[in-house]
Amino acid sequence: MAFLSNLKRWWRQTFGGWSSDQDLEATDEFATLSSLTLDPGRLRLKVGVVSVRGNYREHNEDNYFVPGRRPVRHDVLNESGEHPTMTLEPSNLFIVADGMGGQQGGEQASLMAVEMIPREIAKRLPADQTEPRHVQEAIREAVAQVNQEILGSSGALTEFANMGTTVVLAQFRPDKVYVAGIGDSRAYRLRDGVLERLTKDHSLADALVEAGTITPEELQNHKFKNVLYLYLGSKDARSGPEDFRVMDVRLGDRFLMASDGLTGVVSDLELGRVLGSVNDPQEAAVMLKNLALANDSKDNVTCLVVHVVAQA
């Protein structure tokens, strides 16, 4: 009993807990920012992100990482009585994670993903490393390490039993972007008016489509559409992401990373229309969120939009 009590205390000191304030607020909007300089001195990124509880869920189990963002611990006070923040290494990394396993477990799993993956990548990836193979290895090893941490925590604490999370990430380097996903959170790129999906869903229904058992038309309403066979917190994810997209970065590219609370109810046609017609990434993220809620999304909704723009 003493061991479990100490373990829980360590957990809350390290990762924090759950905030009724966040749940009541329901909306977490992050102001547009300028971030990474690309193609030395010629390009930069503008970012917008919004994450909401939605119309039906009592809690928001989604989380995200944006460079420079420091998550506030609402229920943990430091010695001076203030709410501490956890320092995250600055990086050119963007993450969306959608937790599973009930409110406590889901929130904690997605929180672990967005807090630990940046640190684990930073440990393995020097700023001057541009060799694609080494970048991919660093990301894969980092995600695999966090998967083990989530598995271990899931087995150690009853309230976190069977917790897991999806994760989709985009790591920008000076000349390329690396995109990977586990689960059914997605990444897209809009280039020259054409929307391209960069990740695949790891659901049982998608596996049945790949096997030829069901048709793509049957996928949308299939009973296994939201049943994942691969996610962080599963033994099958012990090697990290299976697939990477490694692409050049061009002026005018627009990227979307989102949980299935958006992509499950808003068509790719609508995603492309908003991404192509709205020039402020924060406005685009909010508009996509509003579309998801108007389309009666039953889940939390997180949208993260990245624009590649000219250096001012």
Based on its alpha-carbon atoms, the radius of gyration of the chain, rounded to whole angstroms, reads: 19
Q: What is the CATH number of the domain that holds 239?
A: 3.60.40.10
- Per-residue pLDDT of 282-302, as tens digits, reads 999 999 999 999 999 999 999
How much of the chain exceeds pLDDT 70, in percent? 70
Interval 185-229: pLDDT, tens: 999 999 999 999 999 998 766 666 566 666 666 567 665 667 677
Residue 31 in tokens: 């102001």
Which of 56-60, 259-263, 283-287 shows the lowest mean pLDDT across its residues?
56-60
Report how far residue 24's alpha carbon sits from residue 20's, in angstroms, rounded to the nearest whole number.
6
Number of domains in the chain: 1
Label residue 31 by pLDDT band (50, 70, 90).
very low
Q: Do 45 and 312 touch, CB atoms closer than 8 A?
A: no
d(CA 303, CA 180): 16
Q: Is the pTM of this model over 0.75?
A: yes
Which residues form the domain of 23?
Answer: 2-310
Please say whether the beta carbons of 121 and 142 come within 8 A: yes
Q: How confident is the model at residue 40 (pLDDT cuts 50, 70, 90)?
A: low
Nearest residue to 107 via CA among 12, 39, 182: 12
Q: Are strands 43-52 and 62-65 parallel, antiparallel or unpaired?
A: unpaired
Q: Does residue 96 register a pLDDT over 70?
A: yes
Question: Would you say residue 73 has pLDDT above 50?
Answer: no
Q: Which two tokens stand for residue 166?
A: 């999806």
Give pLDDT, residue 28.
Answer: 56
Q: How wide is the angle at C-alpha 142 spanned by C-alphas 140 and 145, nearest 5°?
A: 110
Which of 176, 172, 177, 222 is CA-nearest to residue 201?
Answer: 222
DSSP letter for each residue of the chain: -HHHHHHHHHHHHHH----HHHHHH-EEEEEEEEEEEETTTTEEEEEEEEEE-TTT-SS--EEEE-TT---B-TT---TTSSPPB------SEEEEEEEESHHHHHHHHHHHHHHHHHHHHHHH--TT---HHHHHHHHHHHHHHHHHHHHHHHHH-GGGTT-EE-EEEEEE-SSEEEEEEESS-EEEEEETTEEEE-----BHHHHHHHHTSS-HHHHTT-TTTT-BS--BTSGGGTT--S-EEEEE--TT-EEEEE-HHHHTTS-HHHHHHHHHH--SHHHHHHHHHHHHHHTT--S-EEEEEEEEEE--
d(CA 242, CA 239): 8
| 8 Å CB contact between 67 and 35 | yes
User: What value does the mean pLDDT of the chain take?
Assistant: 81
Q: Rounded CA gap, 110 and 3, in Å?
A: 25
Q: What is the Cα–Cα distance from 246 to 196, expressed in whole angstroms?
A: 13
- Which range is least confidently modeled, 52-56, 71-75, 108-112? 71-75
